Chain A
């Protein structure tokens, strides 16, 4: 009985520790968005600002994803287990925040968090930031998994993979202009949900492709880098074929001129349905691409 209570106490202790890290996020929000200072010190009413709810809970979900890959081994004693977990958790948590800052500097350099979320309640902006939060968290989650499985230099490998993935996903996010027919900045200013959904699918799709590419055992760093780059290149070849196949099979009409809807003050704008279609088609194609690039095992 004592042993069971012991284990329960340890579990609760670790639960409190994770909660402390989430509290840390709450305060580090001010570092990322200095203009929002004081906002989180007040009570939070999700129903008043749905955009803020999506933004915040995207981040919290990201934190959950991030910590879901941690393994805590108590065989070497509580201190070592706790110490390793603490160090790795703090470092990955910091990397997560820095990656978010970098992604938002790349994709949302024209927009200010306080204006879009607090004042305009821009749901499209919230969806874009949610895409970043979930995507970056998933990439870090896979990085932690790959580094831990290598069994040595775990922290260095996490930092290396983080840097590697941020560079790739940073460049990848710039391909939105090529893949999508929607104008990112213009529609985001208009608070058009279509751009939010389209970007969400696009970014998560890229995340899945990059995560699948880096999910390889690390032996030699040089060989690993080459294999990842080749896998991403292969994905770039396969991805458009699946996208084209899906469009052809379901005879999807994809001209945005014909899917315009009546917006605010009678201005013609892109319908949300078109954005959802773009997002889903990117995400599905990306998932199907990973089947071809990662799950075929040749006999020679």
Chain B
């Protein structure tokens, strides 16, 4: 009994020490929007948070991670990875490529309705203006000093129209998520897919043919070089 207690204690010490001394752990834990909102070190208003990716690590015990782009107008933009709760992670599963939180100057609480990226900037004449196209449509154009924003927001060649902006305002008012008139944004959105590479795709295991693998394993020294070539 004494030896079993000692062994269990050893396992607990190992797990405790691994957790507290894990030196490569630089990811903070945010349980939900509220805890994220209270992080003054991250959010320097005006700030818009774009969800770049969501994934989990671990085979048996999972860690849920969100990769976020902080678009902070008056300080540097930053991509960070945060740990989060399963609920919050699941809730944000359809929101990749979307702006999930916006904090305006002078506003104590952040706005958390999922909206297309850049919703915070569209319509604000500090950042840009409406341009009339030959087709009669009005599209949003950023000022020269903010010309990098469309790339950071993952717009690609897409430009928001005035109609699009009106829909954003309606959804913001009603606190309803908005993925674009044709669902162009969000995890399954065509613009998001075209402009954000998900780490799941980057880290995808190379699928190997089992027979080929077996042949390589038992290949003779002379044949190995020929196969590589």
Give A224's nearest chain B residue, CB to CB: B23
Instruction: List B residues 1-56 near A (Cβ within 8 Å).
Output: 7, 10-11, 13-14, 17-18, 21, 23
A81 to chain B, nearest CB (A): 35
Looking at chain A's contact residues, the main secondary structure is helix
Q: Does A216 contact B (CB under 8 A)?
A: no
Instruction: List A residues 188-238 near B (Cβ within 8 Å).
Output: 220, 222-223, 226-227, 229-230, 233-234, 236-237
* Contact indicator A230/B14 (Cβ below 8 Å): yes
Total A-B pairs, Cβ < 8 A: 26
Q: Does A45 contact B (CB under 8 A)?
A: no
* Contact indicator B14/A226 (Cβ below 8 Å): no
**Given known contacts A234-B14, A237-B11, A226 and B58 CB-to-CB distance under 8 angstroms:** no
A26 to chain B, nearest CB (A): 44
Give A220's nearest chain B residue, CB to CB: B23
Interface residues on B, range: 10 to 19
* Contact indicator A226/B21 (Cβ below 8 Å): yes
A220, A223, A227, A233 — which one has the most chain B CB atoms within 10 A of its CB?
A233
Q: Does B205 contact A (CB under 8 A)?
A: yes
* A300 to B13 CA separation, bound complex (whole angstroms): 23
Neighbouring A residues of B57 by C-beta, 8 Å: 300
B105 to chain A, nearest CB (A): 39
* A226 to B24 CA separation, bound complex (whole angstroms): 11
Neighbouring B residues of A300 by C-beta, 8 Å: 57-58
Against B, the Cβ 8 Å flags (1 = close, 0 = not) of A165-201 are: 0000000000000000000000000000000000000
B2 to chain A, nearest CB (A): 10
* Contact indicator B23/A237 (Cβ below 8 Å): no
B129 to chain A, nearest CB (A): 46
* Chain B residues near A (Cβ < 8 Å): 7, 10-11, 13-14, 17-18, 21, 23, 57-58, 205
